[in-house]
Each structure stands twice: as structure tokens, then as C-alpha cells.
């Protein structure tokens, strides 16, 4: 995975989140090691989430890890605290704000589950409509 692909994937992940209820400010710089090496930041500001491919000098937290670990944390597949305690990541700064990151990740997971549930409901409704149309077409041919 290239650096550009890592940043693009991070942007896709945060786009699923809903930060509208968050009024706090959080800036995390991610230093990617290994494949896709580079730095990017995620900022939560005024209820919006931004990911940009730059260093963030006035950051709250600095996280260093390989690309897959960072993306897994951002998507909620890997718990932030667990990653830190098991040394999958190194982190420095205001680690108390990591709780805010966990809440943000949880909101993204809830939004994603709601979207999947809505899509399944729409699919069922469409299937019922097709079934009814098929029945009425067959009845009209008799």
C-alpha cells in the first residue's frame, strides 16, 4: 500500500463517522512506518472530521505504527487502548484524549450499522414489490 493509498483509505474511514455531536477539538498525527511510510493527521473540529497528508505540529497525540494497524484502529477493528498496551503502536501527548477517539470510532460503527440495516430494509421492500408485481402480472395473463 502506498502512502497516498493509506491517506485515501483513512479519509474513507472517517467519512463514515458522524462527528456532528462532538464539540471538542482533537488533533492526531499518525506517523506511518514501513510500507506506505509518511505522516498524516486527523482532526476533529467543530463537529467535522478532517484527514490531511501533512504533519500537524500543534497536535494532541502522536501515534506511530504500520499502516494496517493505524487503519484498523481508525475503523474500530483494533481497540486503541489495547493497541497501546500491547505495543502495536507508540503514542505520546495527551493520551486522555484517546477516549474521545474511541467515542468517535464508536459513532462511526453505529452509523455504519444503521446504514446496513437501512439498506437491508430497502432490499426487502423492493423484493416484496417485485413479488407483488409478478403475482399481478401472472393473474392478468389468466
Which CATH number fits the domain that encloses residue 100? 3.30.1050.10
Q: Tell me what pLDDT residue 121 has.
A: 56
- Please give the tally of structural domains in the chain: 1
**Domain residues for 75?**
3-141
Distance CA 27, CA 19 (A): 14
Q: What are phi and psi of 57, to 5 degrees?
A: -70, -30
Reply yes or no on whether the pLDDT at 111 is more than 70.
Answer: no
For the ranges 9-13, 82-86, 116-120, 127-131, which has the lowest average pLDDT? 116-120
How confident is the model over 52-99, as pLDDT tens digits? 999 888 899 999 999 999 999 998 899 888 899 999 999 999 988 877
- 34 and 71 in contact (C-beta within 8 Å)? no
> In this predicted model, which residue has the larger pLDDT, 136 or 18?
18
Residue 52 — left, alpha, or beta (φ > 0 → left; ψ -120 to 50 → alpha)? beta
The DSSP 8-state label assigned to residue 27 in this structure reads E
Q: Which residues share a beta bridge with 66?
A: 33
| pTM of the complete model | 0.73
Which cell numbers in the block locate residue 32? 506511518
Amino acid at each position: 500500500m502506498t502512502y497516498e493509498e493509506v491517506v485515501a483509505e483513512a479519509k474513507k474511514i472517517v467519512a463514515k463517522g458522524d462527528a456532528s455531536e462532538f464539540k471538542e477539538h482533537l488533533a492526531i498525527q499518525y506517523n506511518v512506518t514501513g510500507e506506505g511510510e509518511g505522516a498524516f493527521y486527523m482532526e476533529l473540529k467543530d463537529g467535522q472530521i478532517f484527514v490531511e497528508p501533512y504533519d500537524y505540529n500543534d497536535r494532541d497525540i502522536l501515534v506511530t505504527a504500520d499502516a494496517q494497524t493505524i487503519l484498523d484502529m481508525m475503523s474500530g477493528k483494533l481497540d486503541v487502548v489495547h493497541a497501546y498496551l500491547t505495543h502495536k503502536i507508540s503514542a505520546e501527548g495527551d493520551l486522555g484524549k484517546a477516549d474521545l477517539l474511541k467515542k468517535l470510532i464508536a459513532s462511526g460503527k453505529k452509523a455504519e450499522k444503521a446504514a446496513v440495516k437501512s439498506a437491508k430494509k430497502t432490499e426487502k421492500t423492493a423484493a416484496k414489490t417485485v413479488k407483488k408485481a409478478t403475482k399481478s402480472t401472472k393473474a392478468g395473463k389468466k
